[in-house]
Amino acid sequence: MTDVPALIESVVAALGRLVALGETIEDEWTYVHDLETVWAARLRAVAAGGAAAGVRPAPGLEAALDRLVAEADMVTDPHRAIDWLSTLPQATLVALGEAAW
Amino acid sequence: MRFQDAAKDARAVVYAGIQADPLVARTAAFLADATPAQRVLARAVMNGESTSPEAWRSMFPTLFGEAAPAPGTSERDRSEALLDASLAVAGRGDQVRSQFRGAIVEALAELLLARRVPAGAIRRERRILFDGVPAEIHPYDVTVETPGAAEAYDCKWGARGISADVLHQLDDAREHAAAEGERLLPVLVVFDARRSCEVRLARQTAPRTGTRLVTLETLDRLAGRRAEAAS
């Protein structure tokens, strides 16, 4: 079983792939990178809290985050990728049972 | 300051057809009673690629998994209903779904406002006219036309919809109303997390201090309720 920080890091990596797609919209380059910065920080803060507490993944969490990452990786449209840069972290936080903001 | 129905140009006629689609009203009704986590589910599905409900159930274990409310409970039923409605929206195709999403946020705002103010005071697609000021091209999505305490709402599906034009129109309306001795509260409703909205707003120079921001986590404030926990 993968631990929570490693699962969250896989989501952060997926954010990076969405950034690579979304930044092709030149006018949104800064927004795309700023979104990645703030959401990656939020997710890593949750990971650090969970790791510090020695939290084991809840039932279904590993499958949920794997599936969310797969969903993000299905995105091929850069505009949709920008939508997902905000959506993926929120869905991840809901799966973790955290406040989605 | 006075309110007026927006002109029915070709765009407005097409969009009115989408606004009147029963799927918009059905989805908005489920969202009005939804928890914040259920609203995130709806946002993800309507933004998503997968068409299988089972895939989405697996992505949201706190709504559909072992620890979720049991099948048959009202909360679980609402999760299922929202999933079904959101998949129906996503299934309309890329171009149409973006119009549906916008119409759903507007309908949701109207439903929530109707819990706080008399329904007769709530109007859709209205322009606000001021003496000596050229009318704005774009109507407001929702207005609350209460004498002495009017409100004007611009509704967005995502934070990316926040633009300088939107912020200027809202703030200009507030200023023009004040110049006439009227009170007008401009509100930007965004079906996205405040964190993303703040990112969008951080690099905007347009005035926004007089505009209230309502985001996914604070939608219930439209109904006069405090935001609940997100999960």
Contacts of A86 in chain B (CB under 8 A): 158-159, 192-193, 196
Residue B54 within any structural domain of the chain = yes
Whether B92 and B152 share a structural domain: no
Whether chain A has a CB inside 8 Å of the CB on B216: the answer is yes
Whether B112 and B166 share a structural domain: yes
Whether B213 and B113 share a structural domain: yes
CA atoms within 13 A on the CB side of B39: 31
Residue A100 within any structural domain of the chain = no
Total count of domains within chain A: 1
> Of A87, A78, A75, A11, whose CA–CA distance to B44 is shortest?
A87
Give residue B154's Cα distance to chain centre.
Answer: 8
Residue B91 within any structural domain of the chain = yes
Whether B115 and B217 share a structural domain: yes
| pLDDT reported for residue A51 | 59
For A74, the closest of B40, B41, B49 (CB atoms) is B49
Contacts of A10 in chain B (CB under 8 A): none
Contacts of B63 in chain A (CB under 8 A): 94
pLDDT of residue B72 exceeding 90, the answer is yes
Whether chain A has a CB inside 8 Å of the CB on B102: the answer is no
Note down the domain range covering A88.
4-95
Taking only the tens place, the pLDDT of each residue in B9-19 is 888 888 888 99
Residue A101 within any structural domain of the chain = no
Whether chain B has a CB inside 8 Å of the CB on A68: the answer is yes
Say which residue, B165 or B94, is predicted with more confidence: B165
Asked if A35 and B196 come within 8 Å (Cβ–Cβ), the reply is yes
Cα B137 to Cα B156, B169, B187, distances in angstroms: 17, 10, 18
Residue B83 within any structural domain of the chain = yes
Residue B59 within any structural domain of the chain = yes
Residue B163 within any structural domain of the chain = yes
Residue B177 within any structural domain of the chain = yes
Whether B117 and B93 share a structural domain: no
Give the mean pLDDT of chain B: 93
Whether B144 and B176 share a structural domain: yes
Residue A41 within any structural domain of the chain = yes
**Distance between A22 CA and the closest CA of chain B, angstroms:** 12
| pLDDT reported for residue B165 | 95
What is the mean predicted confidence (pLDDT) over B212-223? Answer: 96
**Distance between A36 CA and the closest CA of chain B, angstroms:** 10
Whether B127 and B209 share a structural domain: yes
Residue B231 within any structural domain of the chain = no
| pLDDT reported for residue B20 | 92
For A58, the closest of B67, B194, B200 (CB atoms) is B67
- pLDDT, tens digit only, all 101 positions of chain A: 678 899 999 999 999 999 999 999 999 999 999 999 999 999 999 999 875 566 777 789 999 999 999 999 999 999 999 999 999 999 999 999 998 77
**Distance between A95 CA and the closest CA of chain B, angstroms:** 5
**Distance between B187 CA and the closest CA of chain A, angstroms:** 20
Q: Where a domain ends, among B67, B100, B133? A: B100
Burial pattern B85-112, b for ≥16 Cβ within 10 A else e, equals bbbbbbebeeeebbbbbbbbbbbbbbbb
Residue B31 within any structural domain of the chain = yes
Contacts of B61 in chain A (CB under 8 A): 58-61, 63-64, 95
Chain A residue with Cα closest to B157? A83
| pLDDT reported for residue B94 | 83
* pLDDT band at residue B2 using 50, 70 and 90 as cut-offs: very high
> Of A39, A79, A91, A76, whose CA–CA distance to B86 is shortest?
A91
DSSP B110: H
Interface test mutation site (partner B, options A7, A67, A75, A76, max chain B beta carbons within 10 A): A67
Whether B136 and B70 share a structural domain: no
Whether chain B has a CB inside 8 Å of the CB on A41: the answer is no
| pLDDT reported for residue B231 | 34
Whether B87 and B26 share a structural domain: yes
Whether chain A has a CB inside 8 Å of the CB on B67: the answer is yes
What is the mean predicted confidence (pLDDT) over B61-66? Answer: 95
Q: What value of ipTM does the predicted structure carry?
A: 0.94
Total count of domains within chain B: 2
pTM score above 0.80: yes
Asked if B199 and A99 come within 8 Å (Cβ–Cβ), the reply is no
Work out whether strand B2-5 and strand B122-129 pair parallel, antiparallel, or are unpaired: antiparallel
Work out the percent of chain B whose per-residue pLDDT is above 70: 97
Whether B43 and B140 share a structural domain: no
CATH number, domain of B204, equals 3.40.1350.10
Note down the domain range covering B44.
10-100
Whether chain A has a CB inside 8 Å of the CB on B36: the answer is yes
Q: Where a domain ends, among B100, B119, B142? A: B100
Taking only the tens place, the pLDDT of each residue in B12-54 is 888 888 999 999 999 999 999 999 999 999 999 999 999 999 9
Whether B121 and B182 share a structural domain: yes
Residue A10 burial class via C-beta count within 10 angstroms: exposed 0-12, middle 13-18, buried 19 and up? middle
Whether B21 and B48 share a structural domain: yes
Contacts of A82 in chain B (CB under 8 A): 160
